[in-house]
């Protein structure tokens, strides 16, 4: 399973909403909404990712929640 699908699976387990997508430069971008503790757990997970993932860096930006209702894998 790829990074985006693994991210979606983990986010759903944690009760989060949002999305994840590949960027044209090879990076992955995600938006996470939910309970602060669950969001922090997800950020920690993203720093390692799935077993097949090679994570070089994670940058976190805090924004106002959009009120998303599901967690989706988006296409670029």
The mean pLDDT value for 46-59 works out to 88
Backbone angles phi, psi at 30, to 5 degrees: -140, 150
Please indicate whether residue 51 is annotated as part of the active site.
no
- What confidence score (pLDDT) does residue 9 get? 96
Return the percentage of the chain with pLDDT > 70, whole number. Answer: 97
Backbone angles phi, psi at 31, to 5 degrees: -120, 130
Identify the structural domains of the chain with CATH numbers, from first to last: 3-73 (3.30.70.100)
Q: Position of tokens 């959009």?
A: 66
Which position among 4, 27, 51, 62 bears the catalytic label?
4
Q: What is the rounded CA–CA span in Å between residue 26 and residue 24?
A: 6
- What confidence score (pLDDT) does residue 75 get? 87
Q: What is the rounded CA–CA span in Å between residue 73 and residue 76?
A: 10
Please indicate whether residue 22 is annotated as part of the active site.
yes
The whole-model pTM stands at 0.88
Q: Two tokens at 7? A: 């991210």
List the strands of the sheet with 28-33, edge to edge: 28-33, 17-22, 71-74
């Amino acid at each position: 399973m790829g990074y985006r699908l693994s991210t979606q699976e983990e986010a759903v387990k944690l009760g989060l909403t949002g999305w994840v997508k590949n960027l044209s430069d090879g990076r992955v971008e995600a938006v996470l909404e939910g309970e602060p503790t669950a969001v922090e757990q997800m950020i920690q997970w993203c720093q390692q990712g799935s077993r097949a993932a090679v994570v070089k860096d994670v940058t976190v930006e805090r924004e106002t929640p959009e009120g998303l209702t599901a967690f989706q894998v988006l296409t670029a």
